[in-house]
Amino acid sequence: MASAPLQAIPADIVSVADYERRAVDHIDHAALAYLQGGAADEYTIKANLNAWSSYDIQPRVLADVRGGHTRCTLFGETLAHPIILAPVASQRLFHPDGEYATTLAAAVMQGAAVISTQASHSLENIANQSQGLLWFQLYWQGGRDATLALVQRAEAAGYRALVLTVDAPVSGARNREQRAGFALPAEMANINVPPISLPSVPEGKSAIFDGVMTVAPTWEDVAWLVKQTSLPVLFKGILHPDDAKRAVAIGAAGIIVSNHGGRVLDGVSATLTALPVIAAAINGAVPVLVDGGIRRGTDIMKARALGATAVMIGRPYIYALATAGALGVAHLVRLLREELEIAMALSGCKTLDDIHGDILRRVTLEST
């Protein structure tokens, strides 16, 4: 049986890895498999984690960085740091307060949190409870009317941006959670939206092409959606530079380089691999964010050096949530921010704008 969350942070927790080690004692076995699992053989999960070691930081000494900071601005909002809590579904699986705890932590740390369509509290209640900056993650709801209705609820509740997930109309097989017998508790299912009705598939037809994909969005649908809201719309799940350019052309306010944490399609590029290519393709037209495998403040600095405005973290803060609730999440963000500050100071970077690609060296077989 999972242990109750801690009420204080033990002295031996000083990194994301420490929270991951601790969290296994506080999360049910099947729920842990759901959190950690990915599609098929989990190649992409491993690629996300390993990619960050493909660059070394080249420190610079004796720089005057007094008065430095990690502030960044996104869509007119100033954040104390570039660490955004990514949308993670059904957070009451990991702590009784669920999204209430994570949004409290984000607010305390002067950051932002993205609330999932599949949250375990209603999007309105989460917004009412929160004192911080919230964005709303949007899944296409099978048609324009139902999707727009959900957008209008998010607008009315006070969310400040929409994060449209574009890479997951069909989910990959999640073998680890299937082997563990995971099933979402009924009281956490469909809190914000009803299940999407899929068409019946005639015998001999494909359940994918003639079923699920018939209610998936197209470029025409998302172009229409952008015009229906005054909120900035970020497209989450972009890995190809041509898709990034097309998204910007139809009005995307931001691009999130993401492969859904390796949970949708196995065998795709690590997000760090795609990041510099996409950043170059859109050439500063809109902010670029990245997620996937970020576990250290040095990873955040590498992301910034390769073109990211900010980063998003998912599994790490859920480990902290399970371990110690809102206190754990706030502590985790503080650890990452302090690691980032140390990396910046020792690399001669006073602000995020001072972080450029020349602080990195690509690791090759010859140099390892």
CA–CA distance, 250 with 271 (Å, rounded to integer): 23
Regarding predicted confidence, which is higher, 283 or 174?
283
Query: Any idea what the Cα angle at residue 314 is, between residues 149 and 101, rounded to 5°?
Result: 75
The answer on pLDDT for 178 being more than 90 is no
CA–CA distance, 43 with 182 (Å, rounded to integer): 21
Indicate the average pLDDT of the chain: 93
Least confident of 19-28, 61-70, 211-220, 348-357: 211-220
List, for residues 125-170, the tens digit of each pLDDT value: 999 999 999 999 999 999 999 999 999 999 999 999 999 999 987 5
Tell me the catalytic residues: 260
Mean pLDDT for 172-201 is 77
**pTM listed for this prediction:** 0.94
Q: What is the pLDDT at residue 190?
A: 87
List, for residues 288-302, the tens digit of each pLDDT value: 999 999 999 999 999
CA–CA distance, 226 with 207 (Å, rounded to integer): 29
CA–CA distance, 351 with 341 (Å, rounded to integer): 9
Q: What is the pLDDT at residue 175?
A: 64
Residue type, 261: G
Q: Kindly report the backbone phi and psi dihedral angles of residue 363, in degrees, each rounded to the nearest multiple of 5, phi listed first.
A: -80, 130
CB 258 within 8 A of CB 290: yes
pLDDT bucket at 39, cuts 50 / 70 / 90: confident
Sorted by where each begins, the domain ranges of the chain are: 16-185+207-362
Mean pLDDT for 71-88 is 97
pLDDT bucket at 179, cuts 50 / 70 / 90: low
Q: What is the pLDDT at residue 368?
A: 45
For domain 16-185+207-362, the CATH class is alpha beta
CA–CA distance, 319 with 309 (Å, rounded to integer): 25
List, for residues 97-127, the tens digit of each pLDDT value: 999 999 999 999 999 999 999 999 999 999 9
Q: What is the pLDDT at residue 218?
A: 96
CA–CA distance, 356 with 222 (Å, rounded to integer): 33
Q: What is the pLDDT at residue 177?
A: 64
CA–CA distance, 266 with 159 (Å, rounded to integer): 32
List, for residues 262-284, the tens digit of each pLDDT value: 888 889 999 999 999 999 999 99
Mean pLDDT for 235-252 is 98
Cα 95 to chain center, whole Å? 19
| Sequence-ordered list of residues with C-beta below 8 angstroms from that of 306, at least 6 positions apart, any chain | 55, 272, 275, 276, 279, 357, 360
